[in-house]
Amino acid sequence: MSKNSKITFVSKSTAETIAFGVKLGKLLTNGHVIALIGELGAGKTTMTKGIVGGLDAKDKDKVKSPTFSLVHKYDGRIPVYHIDAYRLSGSQELLEIGSDEIVFGDGVTIIEWADIVPESLPENYLKITLTHVSEDQRIIEICGYGKHYEQILQQLKN
Ligand SMILES: Nc1ncnc2c1ncn2[C@@H]1O[C@H](COP(=O)(O)OP(=O)(O)OP(=O)(O)O)[C@@H](O)[C@H]1O
Ligand SMILES: [Mg+2]
């Protein structure tokens, strides 16, 4: 990985994390995969709200941690699939429900708890790790794997 393929910043509010997600969502296109990592309440779903908004989904206000469904689809300018792997035992379980068709499909895929399902991820993707600092602060670290995602990272810096 080149040394430019990672950025870190401190988000000081829910709104700031959503705004970052919106900015990222605007840069995404078909086939992009975003892996979200962080403990309970770290802000993965909050980040997802922003990304889905940045992809112009009219139903963006419905984004929540999918408690009952494993996958939720939003109709953005391209389809957005929101997967929450929290309740899964591992990659195999996700692959069995056909995650490859989603992850390698035409939409954008956002996966919460991506660290539980490492083998379901493609070779290249954008990894966002959120760490709780205080009630309103989160450290947000973004890594781009693959040239294409490194370019997105460069655009996020500007
Ligand atoms: N800077 C911040 N960034 C993101 N969320 C924040 C921030 N400050 C406070 N919060 C709050 O923290 C909570 C994060 O919850 P969220 O559902 O996004 O977490 P999660 O990582 O998806 O958790 P879970 O693993 O339970 O799905 C929200 O209530 C949000 O308003
Ligand atoms: Mg969540």
Span 28-55, pLDDT tens digits: 999 999 999 999 999 999 999 999 999 9
User: Is 14 part of a structural domain of the chain?
Assistant: yes
Nearest ligand to the C-alpha atom of residue 130: 1
Atom of ligand 1 nearest to the CA of 48: 18
User: Is 119 part of a structural domain of the chain?
Assistant: yes
Ligand 1 contact via 136 beta carbon (within 6 Å): yes
Ligand 1 contact via 50 beta carbon (within 6 Å): no
Judge contact between 49 and 80, C-beta under 8 A: no
For residue 126, the enclosing domain spans 6-153
The domain that holds 47 is classified in CATH as 3.40.50.300
User: Is 32 part of a structural domain of the chain?
Assistant: yes
User: Is 136 part of a structural domain of the chain?
Assistant: yes
CA of 2 to the centre of ligand 1 (A): 30
Ligand 1 contact via 65 beta carbon (within 6 Å): yes
- The pLDDT of residue 2 is 54
- pLDDT by residue (tens digit) across 61-99? 888 876 667 899 999 999 999 999 999 999 999 999 899
Q: Give the residue, by CA position, lying nearest to ligand 1 atom 10.
A: 14
Q: Give the residue, by CA position, lying nearest to ligand 1 atom 16.
A: 43
User: Is 158 part of a structural domain of the chain?
Assistant: no
User: Is 17 part of a structural domain of the chain?
Assistant: yes
Count of domains observed in the chain: 1
Atom of ligand 1 nearest to the CA of 84: 27
User: Is 1 part of a structural domain of the chain?
Assistant: no
- pLDDT by residue (tens digit) across 102-138? 999 999 999 999 999 999 999 999 999 999 999 999 9
User: Is 109 part of a structural domain of the chain?
Assistant: yes
Ligand 1 contact via 21 beta carbon (within 6 Å): no
- What percent of the chain stands above pLDDT 90? 86
Ligand 1 contact via 61 beta carbon (within 6 Å): no
